[in-house]
Structure formats: C-alpha cells, structure tokens
Amino acid sequence: MRYILDDESKDFLNSIIDTCEERTQILKKGSSVVRAQNGYDLQPYYQKDPETGEDIHVDDIERPYQYKRMKPLENSASEGRANPKGIPCLYVATDKETAMSEVRPWLGSVMSVGLFKITRDLRIIVFATDKEESIHNHSFYFSEPSDEEIIKSVWFHIDNAFSKPTKTSDLKSDYAPTQIISEFIKSKGYDGIAYRSSLGGGHNIALFDLESADIVSCTLFHASKINFEFERSRDPY
C-alpha cells in the first residue's frame, strides 16, 4: 500500500474483504472481454509504376492499432480509478458497446476495438449488480437498516465511486479513495475488480496483471450515432 491509513480506514478495508465472498466470481480461462481505444494506425498503400516498376505511395489506409498498442505501457500508465500513475491496470469491458462507450468517442471518430481472451482463471470481485442498482439508487432508510442492507448499500456506493466517469479536470486526489480500495483488494490476492459502467449497459473490469488477457483480434469501429440525455440539476434562478 502506498498510503498511510488510520485505524478506521483499515477497519473499513478489512470489512470489504470480510463481506466480499458472495461477490467473488471466477472469470474463466478463455472468456472474452473487450478493450477499446480512440484512434487507429495508418498503413501506406503503394502501387507499382508500370513504366519504372517502382512502388509509388498512393494513399494511407486506416487500420486498427497493433496488438502491443492495445495494452497500456508497463511504466508510463496514466492515472485511473483503479490504478495510480505508472502502475497500469488492463481496463476491459464485458461487451464492445460498453468498451466503446467508455472511451467517449465523438460523432465520426474512429476506434480500435480489441477482443481479448482471459489466459487463466481469475478471481474477480463484482461490486454491484443491476438488481442492487434498482434497489439502492436514491433510497432512504426511515428505520435502522439491517446488517445485510448496510453491507449492500456500502458495496453499491463503492460501485458508484468506480463507475463515475473520469474527466481531464479531475484532481489526482479525487482518485485516491478508489485507488486505495483497488490496491488493498489486489494485496489480498484478487486478480481484478468489476463495476457497472455509467456509459454503457455492461460492466467494466480492471485486471491487475497485464498478462491475464491476450488480444486475439482488433477491428475498427466508427461512431455513427451518439445519444445524449439531460436532466435539470436544480431549480432555475
């Protein structure tokens, strides 16, 4: 752990491990996950000059990023909800729509979307289910909740903290709470964490070991349609 924690924080982290058994799932070897990145490579296209026989550069063709580019670099990873700067996680999703939504493409942008296969059985903690979302979202307790309700509520709010989209304006300190939780779970021998996507319909998965999944194919996708939904945050002045 990179942080010095007080006793209350340590007790909270230990309670996560104490109550995570029913949330632990095995991501089987050979399972498919998806990772998307904005952008692509250009492949030069040549034609032979019929008179000279020389190759003439005609155009550049879009192609997906190469396999190595589809994984984060070992020592230069940017900061994220589950990882500090320089210590990479492999962020993947359960389906391609969620993976592409998470990179927040603009209309007309091009993404490289890689299909990965899990290389070994992985122990993953799943923070919250869709059912728990419907139960706990915007809920209030008018009497003392049961221990089970408290535990579910805590896990639901942990899931919300990880699901919150990152912004370039975020302070590094904003990531500290989720990074602490993630690092603690990693220190207990787990291979990753899964949390709901706030941008897609599936789950995001942060894998602590970059070698726990290998890319098997990569395809280009264009963002052809983007839907925005808005709600008023407060009364007008």
CA 65/CA 114 separation, integer angstroms = 9
With 0-12 / 13-18 / 19 or more C-beta atoms within 10 angstroms meaning exposed / middle / buried, residue 113 is: buried
Is residue 83 situated within a structural domain? yes
105-120 confidence digits (pLDDT tens) = 999 999 999 999 999 9
Is residue 229 situated within a structural domain? no
128-141 confidence digits (pLDDT tens) = 865 555 444 545 55
In this predicted structure, what is the pLDDT of residue 224?
94
36-56 confidence digits (pLDDT tens) = 999 999 999 999 888 888 889
169-197 confidence digits (pLDDT tens) = 666 678 889 999 999 999 999 999 999 99
Q: What are the Cα distances from residue 37, in Å, to 3, 48, 67, 69?
A: 31, 34, 12, 9
Is residue 26 situated within a structural domain? yes
- Residue 219 predicted with pLDDT over 50: yes
Q: How many Å is the maximal CA-CA distance in the chain? A: 88
Averaged over 51-75, what is the pLDDT?
90
Average pLDDT for the chain:
88
Looking at mean pLDDT, say which of 204-208, 223-227, 230-234 comes out highest. Answer: 204-208
| Counted domains in the chain | 1
Is residue 232 situated within a structural domain? no
Is residue 32 situated within a structural domain? yes
Is residue 1 situated within a structural domain? no
- Residue 21 predicted with pLDDT over 60: yes
> Which residue is listed with tokens 């808005």?
230
Type of residue found at 227? N
Is residue 231 situated within a structural domain? no
In this predicted structure, what is the pLDDT of residue 134?
45
In this predicted structure, what is the pLDDT of residue 138?
47
113 closest CA partner among 20, 169, 32: 32
- Give the three-class secondary structure for 178: helix
**Residues forming a β-bridge with 207:** 90, 192
Q: What are the Cα distances from residue 173, in Å, to 3, 60, 142, 176, 179?
A: 12, 42, 33, 5, 10
CA 134/CA 129 separation, integer angstroms = 9
Is residue 170 situated within a structural domain? yes
- Tell me the residue range of the domain where 115 lies: 7-222
